[in-house]
């Protein structure tokens, strides 16, 4: 049986079902007609929420005490700077009022000068008290988180609970002793964690903490005395009250500055340093050093 011979002139062409499809024409680019517009307000978009740091998210189960210490230390330092500056302004206002009292003994004073003095004293005094209260709140929050961070570092638990620390700052009389004692215990725990103090040693405050303790107690005593002195009447009592308020503002400014220094001192020991902020040193020259010894040639090296 012979196979049919194919015609060499035949040409086979494969086409898709339905025949050849017409070639698509290239779409011409349309001219720019402006930004897109919608007939109604689009329902898509981002939720109306502001940016929040991961520490503020409710999904985080546990906050890092060291990070909290750094955050509250920065916040407390800012408010303490403002408190110190406003207390200095209040002290200057009280000094100006005392000068006006001295001048009023033998001459009549201008009403404008008296009004400006009263406005400055009232405004600076009110702002200084408000800033001092905010600084106290931030400093106490820093102290609580610093106590927790230091306790976790050395693996112990403070004997005094947090509510006693807060009560020791608020309760009159106790706030002369308990804040300094709590700060001394915190410093002791931080130095034990750094390996600079024996854990069995009794906590003793450093000169920096001791100076803050003295300034804190003096400012509280002067503030209470000035408050009680304001109930007295008489020209001499008013003049003495101006002097007392001046020294109260000065003591408050000094206490704010020392508080900021103590917070920075203990926060530096608790919070690890940022490698990006450390200074990079470079060796420029070496003088008087012996030359390095020549390395011995191994016996297996090729000659």
* Residue 161 confidence (pLDDT) above 50: yes
Mean of pLDDT values over 33-56: 73
Count of domains for the chain? 1
Q: Are 95 and 244 in contact (CB under 8 A)?
A: no
Q: What is the pLDDT, as a whole number, of residue 203?
A: 72
Q: Is residue 10 a part of any domain in this protein?
A: no
Q: What is the pLDDT, as a whole number, of residue 19?
A: 62
Mean of pLDDT values over 157-180: 84
* Residue 291 confidence (pLDDT) above 90: no
Among the listed residues 179, 152, 132, the one whose alpha carbon sits nearest the alpha carbon of residue 67: 152
pLDDT tens, 219-244? 999 988 988 888 888 778 888 888 89
pLDDT tens, 203-213? 778 888 899 99
Domain of residue 146 covers: 63-271
Query: Percent of the chain beyond pLDDT 90?
Result: 22
Q: What is the pLDDT, as a whole number, of residue 41?
A: 79
* Residue 24 confidence (pLDDT) above 50: yes
Please tell me the total number of residues recorded for the chain in this structure. 303
Q: Are 83 and 252 in contact (CB under 8 A)?
A: yes
Q: Which residues of 149-158 are buried (b: 16+ CB within 10 A; e: fewer)?
A: bbbebeeeeb
Mean of pLDDT values over 43-60: 63
pLDDT tens, 102-143? 888 777 778 888 888 889 889 998 999 999 999 999 999 999
Q: Which two tokens stand for residue 54?
A: 């991961």
Roughly how many angstroms between the first and final C-alpha of the chain, as a whole number? 84
Q: What is the pLDDT, as a whole number, of residue 104?
A: 80
Q: Which two tokens stand for residue 131?
A: 């800033």
Q: Is residue 293 a part of any domain in this protein?
A: no
Q: What is the pLDDT, as a whole number, of residue 110?
A: 80
Per-residue HEC secondary structure of 90-137 comes to: HHHHHHHHHHHHHHCCCCCCCHHHHHHHHHHHHHHHHHHHHHHHHHHH
Q: What is the pLDDT, as a whole number, of residue 127?
A: 93
At residue 178's C-alpha, the angle toward residues 173 and 182, to 5°, is 165
Q: Is residue 142 a part of any domain in this protein?
A: yes
Average pLDDT value for the chain: 81
Q: Name every residue whose Cβ is closer than 8 Å to that of residue 94 and which is 6 or more positions away in sequence.
A: 121, 242, 243, 245, 246, 249
Q: Are 167 and 176 in contact (CB under 8 A)?
A: no
Q: Which residues of 201-230 are buried (b: 16+ CB within 10 A; e: fewer)?
A: eebebeeebeebbebbbbbbebbeebeebe
Q: What is the pLDDT, as a whole number, of residue 78?
A: 92
* Residue 60 confidence (pLDDT) above 50: no
Question: Which residue has better confidence, 51 or 161?
Answer: 161
Q: What is the pLDDT, as a whole number, of residue 6?
A: 56
Q: What is the pLDDT, as a whole number, of residue 20?
A: 63
Q: What is the pLDDT, as a whole number, of residue 260?
A: 93
- Residue whose pair of structure tokens reads 């033998």 in the numeric block: 106
Q: Is residue 277 a part of any domain in this protein?
A: no
Q: Which two tokens stand for residue 157?
A: 């638990």
Q: Are 185 and 146 in contact (CB under 8 A)?
A: no
DSSP state of 59: T
Q: What is the pLDDT, as a whole number, of residue 284?
A: 76
Q: Is residue 121 a part of any domain in this protein?
A: yes
């Amino acid at each position: 049986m012979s196979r049919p011979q194919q015609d060499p002139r035949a040409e086979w062409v494969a086409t898709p079902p339905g025949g050849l499809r017409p070639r698509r024409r290239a779409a011409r680019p349309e001219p720019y007609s402006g930004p897109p517009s919608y007939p109604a307000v689009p329902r898509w978009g981002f939720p109306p929420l502001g940016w929040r740091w991961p520490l503020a998210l409710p999904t985080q189960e546990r906050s890092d005490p060291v990070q909290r210490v750094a955050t509250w230390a920065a916040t407390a330092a800012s408010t303490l700077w403002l408190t110190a500056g406003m207390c200095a302004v209040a002290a200057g206002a009280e000094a100006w009022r005392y000068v006006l009292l001295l001048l009023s003994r033998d001459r009549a004073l201008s009403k404008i000068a008296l009004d400006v003095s009263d406005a400055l004293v009232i405004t600076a005094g009110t702002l200084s008290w408000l800033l001092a209260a905010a600084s106290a709140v931030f400093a106490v929050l820093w102290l609580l988180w610093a106590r927790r961070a230091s306790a976790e570092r050395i693996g112990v638990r403070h004997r005094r609970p947090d509510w006693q620390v807060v009560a020791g700052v608020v309760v009159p009389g106790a706030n002369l002793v308990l804040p300094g004692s709590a700060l001394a215990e915190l410093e002791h725990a931080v130095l034990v964690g750094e390996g600079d103090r024996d854990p069995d040693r009794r906590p003793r405050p450093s000169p920096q903490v001791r100076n803050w303790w003295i300034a804190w107690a003096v400012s509280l005593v002067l503030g209470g005395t000035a408050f009680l002195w304001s109930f007295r009447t008489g020209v001499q009592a008013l003049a003495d009250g101006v002097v007392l308020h001046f020294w109260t503002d000065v003591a408050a400014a000094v206490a704010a500055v020392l508080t900021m220094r103590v917070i920075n001192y203990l926060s530096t020991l608790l919070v690890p340093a940022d490698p990006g902020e450390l200074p990079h040193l470079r060796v420029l020259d070496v003088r008087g050093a012996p030359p390095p010894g020549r390395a011995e040639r191994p016996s297996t090296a090729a000659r």
